[in-house]
Amino acid sequence: MPHYLRTYIPGGSYFFTVALLERHRRLLTEHIDTLRAAFASVRRQRPFHIDAIVVLPDHLHCLWTLPPDDADYSTRWRLIKASFARTLAPGERLSDRRQQKGERGIWQRRFWEHAIRDQRDFNIHCDYIHYNPVKHGYVARVADWPHSSFHRFVENGVYPSDWAGHPDLIDTVGFGE
């Protein structure tokens, strides 16, 4: 397995992709209130700002900014994932390894993170996040997806309500999701 090094920048902004282990499941939208509660609980313990987010049935994308003296997004993700998983009834398929470690089979172990470099990078990732439900065919218009910070961006005047993304930017970001 390759040696993967994460970038930790105190006070940094990061883009994340976090996915369910079994991608055919729809747990995140079916249990959206539970997911929101997990985020809220962790944010009370270990504050961070959610700059942008979209929750799809089997994965989510978000952009966070951490406090100036803090770079520990990994612990936050561990706590969010554990809090969400604890609320779900057991019964998912478990590999031998997960059984041996006493793990649930809800989330993929890892997550994708990208340290935001500048305002353009931030804007491109916000666009990617908000366009994702259209990309995956869940809705025809960005505004029709309810589990997205897009609506907050419209209220704050960042996007017009009929914003549809900029395909040249969205398609060149190069994410797998």
What is the CATH classification number for the domain harbouring 83? Answer: 3.30.70.1290
pLDDT at 172 over 60: no
In a domain, 166, yes or no: yes
- Residue 148 is given by DSSP the state B
**Rounded Cα distance, 29 and 34, in Å:** 10
Tokens of 4: 């993967």
**Residue 54: strand pairing partners:** 61, 148
Helix (H) or strand (E) holding 16: strand 13-19
Mean pLDDT across the stretch 41-55?
A: 98
Counting the structural domains of the chain, the total is 1
pLDDT at 106 over 70: yes
pLDDT on residue 176: 45
Which stretches within the chain are classed as H helix? Answer: 27-30, 32-45, 73-87, 96-101, 119-135, 150-155, 167-172
Q: What are the pLDDT digits (tens) for 70-89?
A: 999 999 999 999 999 989 77
pTM for this predicted structure: 0.88
Residue 99 inside a domain? The answer is: yes
Top pLDDT among 101 and 66 is at 66
